[in-house]
Structure 1
Amino acid sequence: MRIAGKTARDPRSGIVDVWRREVGFLAPRAFARRYGASEDLVLRLGIHRKLKQHTGCVNCISFNANGNILVSGSDDKKVILWDWETGFVKLSFSSGHKNNIFQARFMPSSDDRTIVTCAADGEVRLAVLQDGGYFVTTLLAKHDGRAHKIAIKPGSPHIFYSCSEDGLVQHFDLRTRSATKLFKCQAFQEKSFYMPIVHLNAIAIDPANHNLFAIAGSEEFARVYDIRKCRWDGKSCRKPVDCFCPLHLIGENEVEITGLAFSEQSELLVSYNGEQIYLFSKRHGLGPDPLCDALPHSMDMDDTSYTNEKSIYSSKENLNFEPEPEVYRGHSNRDTVKGVSFYGPHCEYVASGSDCGRIFIWRKKGGELLRVMEADKYVVNCIEPHPWTTTLASSGIEHDIKIWIPNAVEPASPVDVSEVMLIYRGDSWFASDGSDYDDSDDYNDEEDDDNDDDVDDDSDIDATDGSDEDGDYEFVIDDYNRDDISNGKNDSEGDDNDTGMLPGSQDAKF
């Protein structure tokens, strides 16, 4: 019997598929893909290991193409390369940045010897591994605001993009080590109460069409651009080829996008600050000028107030739009710039961190919340899926990185969104029933003075009990002054060219 609202399990999954593979009825690759997409594995995810070396919040994590090395960047301005399976630090070096690192990624097909980084100081830097086992870092370009994200052209060892709160999108070619300023993102309609420049938080490249990239920031629209339509003076690239936004958010003044991700099917995943996560396909596009294209042709844009526009957009009977995009609910995204990710061999799931310190995983099709996992004392900002296994990495305000694998003996119980969802009111958290949410008793742990291997201890941790052996960290979310950054007023100074290794770190051997 099938219970309403629940998905029936296929009785042929699991052990039967193992038997079919062993007797030759199921190809090993087909088995791996089917098994990797199994919902049962999602329900068995648990903490396998904690990677401890950073002395600040870990703002970015990324696997190399082979999946055997994880690179991380932190408020401590260090970049660390991990053998995440053993917890061993392969190499650790000073990035040369003067402020918190926001992104660190390997360049493809570089034998993991080339890393690009961006940070709160607005700099975009290149780090190259030398034969002596150390990295040399070089300044490639500088933004006038915090540089949040880098997007690397899939498979290219040379091409990537950066975006920043100054609204500027830059294109880089490492063959010439040059940066081209493509354009500054400007609001579609200037409003008197905020600047016309869109402060950019996220950028992503479509893996199915490398000519298309999406950007988003301090407005309601996620914009998609075609690099083929860009002249290198930037004049013809200011207009996107398409835009995406839920209809009810068009015209909202306080809306901001913090995270973007493309699926292998060219779907665009968008995470809104103070709102939900939405999944758009091409049929949801609003066109290159959404404030005009979304209006009925019989109306004069100049005679329509912004308030009236909003009511028009929200009236579906006046618009010929496809069904609403898929929505993913339950998490909270208010305090920090959070990313969002697809998970699974064919992007079958959606994953995000939350202000409540938990990881949320939804089924992509239908938006059902499957897992809620305790992952940080404060906030989870980053979720990074392994390129070809069911492993996840997560990081946030705490100074460690958590590695998740399907290691639980029993699958997790079904999730009730109404029970796990927290409501933010003013400066306080409340449970969904309106009662005060107080997690102070969950984390009264002693300082962990361990220099030993955490493999055995961490592999058996129950991710839902809130216990941790880490020390207590002060919860501070920095609000940097853009003027200070642009004027070079930073806590510490760094050279444009820098080399560095942390004492005691090991030479990289790839």
Structure 2
Amino acid sequence: MNSTGMLGFTAAPPFAFFRWPYCEKMAKANITRDLIHRQLKEKGALSFERHYHVTDPFIQRLGLEAELQGHTGCVNCLEWNEKGTLLASGSDDQNAIVWDPLHHKKLLSMQTGHSANIFSVKFLPHTEDRILITGAADSKVHVHDLTVKETIHMFGDHKNRVKRIATAPMWPNTFWSAAEDGLVRQYDLRENSKHSEVLIDLTEYCGQLVEAKCLTVNPQDNNYLAVGASGPFVRIYDIRMIHNHRKSMKQNPTAGVHTFCDRQKPLPDGAAQYYVAGHLPVKLPDYNNRLRVLVATYVTFSPDGTELLVNMGGEQVYLFDLTYKQRPYTFLLPKKCRSSGEVQNGKTSTNGVSNGIHLHSNGFRLSEGRAHMSSQVELPPYLEKIKLQANEAFACQQWTQAIQLYSKAVQKAPNNAMLYGNRAAAYMKRKWDGDHYDALRDCLRAISLNPCHLKAHFRLARCLFELKYVTEALECLDDFKGKFPEQAHSSACDALDRDINAALFSKTDNAEDKKGSGPIWLRATGRKDSISDDEMVLRERSYDYKFRYCGHCNTTTDIKEANFFGSNAQYIVSGSDDGSFFIWEKETTNLVRVLQGDESIVNCLQPHPSYCFLATSGIDPVVRLWNPRPEVRLGPMAGLGLPTGAGRLPQTHG
């Protein structure tokens, strides 16, 4: 099968819907030179495709191209085939449809045999798009042969709704499912069996109420499987280690007999690594009081497999760096303003060894770590201009605008302490969920660059107080008074001192104090008898996020996706409960577009594998296709699209 797919679809030529007016703003990139290289060199063609796959001019011109009609219920899942010539969708109507998206045609509609909503649909790799897998709310997984429109395998092993199917590019006979019974199951179509194997049983670690919601396989190393479930933690498992462990147990069945430890360890040591936004575990009691549920609704790896993106239901979108991992940030200050050395900021190398920060059971600690004094380098004129614009936005109480401008400057000048300190102040003023933790991170970064950054020291104490680390806030404030005695009796210092002492006085045995009643991970996440000791250890060893993306709302559905957009993962896209979908720059975390994609909720966003082409769906019974529109068509309302920055953004975030 070359240009023609198994359903008779002929692929459009590369960049068929790129319109040359877009190239006017790309002159600086010398597109003529790149076109010549694309013709002469195979590597040049790949480089051209990756560079021009998704660009800022394309993002700014993104608009509605077509609506694909054929379903009669909510469209809960979308999936491109590897070449991007076919698009599959699954719906509440229990049907699967295969589309020719480039010509806006329905090629095939199939009754799947499910008796409830379809939540996941996947093409099985290396089958010439002949095999389609579906998972549904009837707890079943079905495998279909599209050439004969027949269901060839039916698996009914799960005891609750199947939420996601995952496939591996290099394993054409194997796939996995995640369901609300807390199980991740593995299927091998080479075996003549109607049953699957339990790969991971989350209930053995987290109790009977845990639900698996989503999963994905690393595209560069198919041995790694990421799983999202109830709670704020996301897990990455080494499939190979799990299988080797079970094989060794079968070969030596007496090894674990009558051994409590073996019975409690269904997974071998080192087979799982946890990731969590550092502020979420200790926020759970507060979220529970507000009836807010945290659950990972979607996980996906970056194209190069080095990053993991998580859409956290009840919260925001987080990106985790899998190469340069970092522990959750802790209270870490140099004892003297001008001591020699370095303040650690939590980053670790690929071997996972922390460079000095350890999350103790009491939350935070002071460190005698060395402090590196960086000279405050002047910003180049264009960055100085951005900083002044950010300062002006801050003065006008436009906190989000100020944060975006500071973030833009930080990306270009990552060693400027003042930028981090100023952005921390903007986060503290805005007060969205997670802002005080981001402010704490910025304060620590500013102090690591400039140990005498007075405002960063004081803001750190305020952040600790707002995060309810009251005892640590007092310790930090005392440290601040010692370093800067001339500020010890300032009005701001006195006000924070009063707040801290009032909080300390009002504490009771049941207060959310992070010291004194066991590990914060346990007190934040459930009863001890429902969480195994191994689970506790894995949570304590979890890694923190690199970037956070906010503005959207994810509280209503548990299938809401977030995805990388672009061959180099330059952008992040996510659906929202207000019917919009959001586009952020990955590196700055800045929001660049908001487009209206549904009358109610956008759940699914699946980017085309090689074109600037996006498929979305939600509550409406249609699939919407988006691509860059011609410049002459772009107006205040391009299709359903809003102009950049338009639309009222949610002020509270789910």
- The question of 1:236 aligning with 2:266 is answered yes
1:12 positional shift: 7.7
Q: Counterpart of 1:420 in 2: which secondary structure?
A: coil
In structure 1, how many angstroms separate the alpha carbons of the residues matched to 2:326 and 2:210?
20
Is the Cα–Cα contact under 8 Å of residues 185 and 238 in structure 1 kept in the other structure?
A: no
Q: Mapping of 1:89-238 within 5 angstroms?
A: 89-130=106-147, 133-176=148-191, 178-186=195-203, 195-230=207-242, 231-232=245-246, 236-237=266-267
- Determine the C-alpha separation between the residues in 1 that align with 2:78 and 2:564: 15
2:548 paired residue number? 327
User: Match for residue 447 of structure 1?
Assistant: none
* SS of residue paired to 1:116: strand
Query: Quick one: which of 343, 362, 371 aligns to 2:584?
Result: 362
Alignment: residue pair count: 399
Matched, 1:19 2:32: yes
Matched residue, 1:305 = 518
Is 2:281 aligned against 1:250?
yes
Higher strand proportion (structure 1 or 2): 1
Provide the residue aligned with 2:465 in structure 1. Answer: none
Tell me, in whole angstroms, the C-alpha distance in 1 between the residues paired with 2:204 and 2:171. Answer: 31
Structure 2 equivalent of residue 4 of structure 1 = none
In structure 1, C-alpha distance between the alignment counterparts of 2:152 and 2:241, rounded to whole Å = 32
Q: 1:64 aligns with which of 75, 81, 84?
A: 81
CA 1:30–1:424: 2 relative to 1, 3 Å: closer
Q: Is the 8 A contact 1:95 1:137 kept in 2?
A: no
Q: Is 1:409 matched with 2:631?
A: yes
Please, which runs of 5 or more residues in structure 2 have no aligned partner?
1-22, 250-262, 286-292, 328-350, 364-513, 525-539, 636-641
CA 1:304–1:400: 2 relative to 1, 3 Å? same
1:32-47 alignment runs, 5 A limit: 32-47=49-64
- Post-superposition offset of 1:197: 4.0
| Aligned-pair CA distance for 1:156 | 2.4
Hey, what's the Cα distance between the residues in 1 that align with 2:77 and 2:314? 21
Matching residue's letter, 1:162? S
Match of 2:97 in 1: 80
Aligned to 2:325: 284
Contact 2:25–2:57 (Cα < 8 Å) also in 1: no
Deviations 1:9-37 (A, max 9, x none): x9982486332245559834322221113
Contact conserved, 1:244 with 1:284, CA < 8 A, in 2? no
Q: Measure, in 2, the Cα distance between the counterparts of 1:139 and 1:271.
A: 30
Matched residue, 2:557: 336
User: Structure 1's 161 and 18: CA in aligned 2 closer, same or farther, altered over 3 A?
Assistant: same
Taking structure 1 as reference, are residues 327 and 214 closer, same or farther at Cα in structure 2, changes over 3 Å only? same
SS of 1:13's equivalent in the other structure is helix
Q: What does 1:476-491 correspond to in 2, within 5 Å?
A: none
Does structure 2 retain, via aligned residues, the 8 Å contact 1:203–1:260? yes
Moved more, 15-24 or 349-358: 15-24
CA distance in 1, matches of 2:547, 2:217: 21
48-57 or 224-233, which deviates more = 224-233
* 2:31 partner amino acid: V
Over aligned residue pairs, what C-alpha RMSD do you find? Answer: 3.5
Distance 1:229 1:294, change over 3 A: farther
Asked whether the equivalents of residues 185 and 197 of structure 1 are also in contact (C-alpha less than 8 Å), the reply is no
Is this contact kept in 1: 2:593–2:645, CA < 8 A? no
| Greater share of residues in helix | 2
Q: Distance in 2 between matches of 1:368 and 1:259?
A: 21
Contact 2:318 2:546 in 1 (8 A): yes
The residue aligned with 2:606 is 384
The 1-side partners of 2:67 and 2:627 are apart by: 12
C-alpha displacement of 1:304? 3.8
Q: Which amino acid aligns with 1:349?
A: Y
Out of 333, 337, 360, which is 1:296 matched to? 360
> TM-score scaled by structure 1?
0.71
Native 8 Å contact 1:146 1:164 kept in 2: yes
- Inter-partner Cα distance in structure 2 for 1:228 and 1:25: 39
Distance 1:214 1:425 in 2: 25
* Aligned 8 A contact 1:390 1:405 in 2: yes
> What is the rounded CA distance, in whole Å, between the counterparts of 2:203 and 2:142 in structure 1?
26
Give 1:115 shift. 0.8
Radius of gyration: which is bigger? Answer: 2
Whether the aligned pair in 2 keeps the contact of 1:259 and 1:271 (CA below 8 Å) is: yes
Relative contact order: is structure 1 or structure 2 higher (C-alpha 8 Å, sep ≥ 6)? 1
Identity %, equivalent residues = 31
Q: Which residue of 1 aligns with 2:303?
A: 264
CA gap 1:210/1:308 in 2 versus in 1, 3 angstroms: closer
Q: CA 1:371–1:187 in structure 2 vs 1: closer, same or farther (change >3 Å)?
A: farther
- CA offsets, 1:90-122, max 9 Å, x none? 111111111000011110110111011100111
Task: Say whether the 8 Å CA contact 2:122–2:166 is kept in structure 1.
Answer: no
Per the TM alignment, residue 423 of structure 1 is displaced from its structure 2 partner at its CA by 4.2
Shift of 1:175: 1.1
Relative to 1, partners in 2 of residues 1:238 and 1:101: Cα closer, same or farther, differing over 3 Å? farther
Give distance in 2, aligned partners of 1:182 and 1:117: 19
Aligned equivalents of 1:102, 1:320: Cα separation in 2: 32
Aligned mates of 2:522, 2:142 — CA distance in 1? 43
Runs of 4+ in 1 over 6 A off after TM superposition: 308-311, 319-323, 410-414
Of 605, 610, 615, which residue of structure 2 is paired with 1:393?
A: 615
Name the CA distance, whole Å, in 2 between partners of 1:163 and 1:80.
Answer: 22
For residues 52 and 24 of structure 2, what CA distance do their matches in structure 1 show?
14
Cα distance in 2 for partners of 1:297, 1:354 equals 36
Q: Structure 1, residues 329-369: CA drift from partner, whole Å, max 9, x if none? A: 11000100211111101211111110010111111111111
Q: Distance in 1 between matches of 2:143 and 2:137?
A: 15
TM-score by length of 2: 0.56
